[in-house]
Structure 1
Amino acid sequence: MNILRFYIGKTILLTSLMTLFALAAIRILFTLIDEMNDLGKGNYDFTDGLVYSLMLAPQYIYDFFPMAVLIGSIAGLGLLASKSELTVMRAVGKTTGQIVGAALSYGLILIAIAIFIGEYVAPKSSQAAESLRNRAIHGDSFIKSGKGIWLKDANQMIHLEEIIGEQQLKGINIYTLNGEQAISQITEAKSANLVEGAWELFDGKESFVSKEQITSQPFDKKIWDTEISLEHISVLKLKPENFNAYSLYEYSNYLESNGQDSTSYDLAFWRKIFQPLSTAVMILLAASFIFGPMRSVSMGARVLVGVVTGLIYFFVVRAFGPVSLVFGLPSFFGALLPPLLFAGLAWYLLRKAG
């Protein structure tokens, strides 16, 4: 059985990885085409767009993993079925459960690859890609560091500790420079909200610096005269999917402790937790198709069904999470239900196939 397990596992691994890279390559191509609209903004050129698109490849690979495993497993098992190798395996006494178990055991390798990419490679490459794009378009007006974000607006240097949503900032420090490029004023605020197109600073103080003295005065609320817009903040804020599970967990707890909405980060966290389950379910679903309704169809038909089913799963996962939040369901339920539904379908088809 060890030889058969290796043979089945190797076939599924190869077809799944080939499918994965093909899907990622298509997504990279579409990203590059989309980036053509921004060529010429600032110093952003074709090379920057190409590098940006390639740096997003790990994130695309992670996003497409369940779909690629489904299509690859259908293709791999279908290849064995088309050569009657699955029939021979069953003829020598191997049950459907043993064959599916062999496929799932090598699926653990795919799951390990997905976890590594999702936790260590994709978050860093995505953040680096966004940083490269922002700096090429906006120049040095935007600098992201591990301790917040630096922005430059006319004669002001601004440091932001956190961006919460797209209309709220936390920990604002504004350094105003005079004609001699020396600090003439320092404005500190605990938070800022975007209200009717203008930023309002809350709970802070202003310090005026001169050669003779520094004078300070507190304020409860103050309008911030700046050219920084909602668009600028939007390009600085990364999507929750661009963080690893630990960062999502930490940031979600931070938002909750400060009375902020953390649902989008909770949902992204639970999606990452259940991603390995999704991969296993896709292998199970592929096996249920091969031993069930697609036992005697052509390879082209099998791949087509795999693509359609994979797309359905991809969009169900993307849509069901936000919909579940609208109806007040827990985030983990919104992330767990899609793989459970497809696992139930796979189990039903396998039982029906005997």
Structure 2
Amino acid sequence: MKTLRRLIYGEVLVAVAFVTLSFLALFFFFDFVDELQGVGSNNGGYQLKHAFIYVLLLVPSHLYELLPISVLIGTIFVMARLAQSSEFTILRTSGLGPSLALRNLMGLGLAFVVLTFVVGDYVSPLCDRYGQLLKSRYMGQISVGQTGAWLRERQADRSFAVNVQTLTPDGNPSGIRIFEFDKDGQWTGLIRAKLGILTNDDAWVLQHVERDSLTRQGTASNLVRSSTQEQTWPTGITSEMVSVALLKPDRMGTIDLFQYIRHLSANGQATQRFEIEFWKKVFYPLSCLVMVVLALPFAYLHFRSGNIASHVFGGVLAGISFFLLNNVFSYIGNLNSWAPWFAAAAPGMLYSVASLAAFGWLVVRQ
């Protein structure tokens, strides 16, 4: 069995590596051409070498997105080629039963699951963060829309609505407005700061601060305005939370996204979209297992008529439809308030059942 696994694993790994490198080279070229438009902007600060490094830092994100489809294409090609050359028929007569073939491919699929999880949860978020900071350092600050990002937080008998306009090249919020409300929801103050330094002590160090405080005595109200160079504002809002509010939630790690969901829930904000993204992060690496199961039935087809290309193309279309359905279910689940785990896991379950049914039918037929 070691020889058998060495043969199949070696063929699949080489094919998957070739497909992955081809896709990454294609995406690298497109990204680099797109970044050339920004070269020379901001008084020439953003140069060709910066564009090259930025595009290079995008590679882990593309690797995370492309690994399952690369696994599908590479595995289908190997299984179809083994079937066409009758090598798989020889392996079957040598004792490679359906359950053993499925178990061997599932073991290889688990290795791809681990690789996808590591890339998507650790390597990709880190590289994306450095890439955004690099680009903002030479092209300006990171901002979204005209109103920036909005976050909420509750502290004891008070609540806050925090508005961040941009992120600096160091990843700190700037253009900060903090609206303060009492326990009855009445506005009591406004803090404006040009910059906030995020510390590890659950606090922001606000710089160039202006504060408006409203005090009420009966029917009379008094507005007091003050300013200071620096003020410490205790908060549980982290840099990752600000980043996800300004950027995309799928760029976060699973643990960071889970903490952000808890923060939103504790402050009475909607979490449906982010919960779906969280469960997609959990289930997405498992799609590699779905892909190898989807590819295995191709080993039991006959390709003596020379139509191997059409079968491989059909398998590729099936894989692409899986990813399209995965995105569609996310939007539909968000609109219809489906259970987040179901919206994220349903496409994988449907395709796994279909793949196993096709595999079982081919085994029974032959």
Structure 1 residue 308 and structure 2 residue 317: aligned? yes
- Report Cα offsets for 1:232-258 as digits up to 9, x if no partner: x99982211111111111111111111
Question: What is the TM-score normalised by the length of structure 1?
Answer: 0.75
Q: Could you tell me which residue of structure 2 aligns to residue 335 of structure 1? A: 344
Percent identity of paired positions between Structure 1 and Structure 2: 25
Q: Could you tell me which residue of structure 1 aligns to residue 100 of structure 2? A: 98
Q: Could you tell me which residue of structure 2 aligns to residue 207 of structure 1? A: 226
- Cα 1:7/1:308, change in 2 over 3 Å: same
Q: CA deviation at 1:59?
A: 0.8
Q: CA deviation at 1:56?
A: 0.8
* Residue pair 1:316, 1:338 contacting (<8 A) in 2 also: yes
Structure 2: runs of 5+ lacking an equivalent: 143-165, 177-192, 214-222, 232-241
* Residue pair 1:172, 1:188 contacting (<8 A) in 2 also: no
Q: CA deviation at 1:346?
A: 0.3
Q: Could you tell me which residue of structure 2 aligns to residue 22 of structure 1? A: 22
Distance between the aligned counterparts of 1:188 and 1:32, measured in 2? 47
* Residue pair 2:133, 2:170 contacting (<8 A) in 1 also: no
Structure 1 residue 143 and structure 2 residue 145: aligned? no
Structure 1 residue 321 and structure 2 residue 358: aligned? no
Q: Could you tell me which residue of structure 2 aligns to residue 158 of structure 1? A: 195
Structure 1: runs of 5+ lacking an equivalent: 162-170, 177-184, 190-203, 217-232
Distance between the aligned counterparts of 1:285 and 1:186, measured in 2? 60
- Report Cα offsets for 1:26-54 as digits up to 9, x if no partner: 22222222223333331223322221111
- Residue from 110, 120, 123 that aligns with 1:118: 120
* Structure 1 vs Structure 2 CA RMSD: 3.3
Distance between the aligned counterparts of 1:115 and 1:14, measured in 2? 20
Between 291-300 and 68-77, the greater mean CA deviation after superposition = 291-300
- Cα 1:309/1:29, change in 2 over 3 Å: farther
Q: Could you tell me which residue of structure 2 aligns to residue 257 of structure 1? A: 266
Letter in 2 for 1:321: S
- Cα 1:239/1:143, change in 2 over 3 Å: same
* Residue pair 1:5, 1:99 contacting (<8 A) in 2 also: no
SS at match of 2:329: helix
Q: CA deviation at 1:352?
A: 1.2
Where do 1:1-354 residues align within 5 Å?
Answer: 1-42=1-42, 43-138=45-140, 142-143=167-168, 148-150=172-174, 157-159=194-196, 175-176=207-208, 185-187=209-211, 206-209=225-228, 237-292=246-301, 297-354=306-363
Question: What is the TM-score normalised by the length of structure 2?
Answer: 0.73
* Residue pair 1:150, 1:157 contacting (<8 A) in 2 also: yes
Q: CA deviation at 1:123?
A: 0.7
Distance between the aligned counterparts of 1:289 and 1:188, measured in 2? 69
- Report Cα offsets for 1:203-258 as digits up to 9, x if no partner: x9842359xxx9x9xxxxxxxxxxxxxxxx99982211111111111111111111
Distance between the aligned counterparts of 1:121 and 1:188, measured in 2? 43
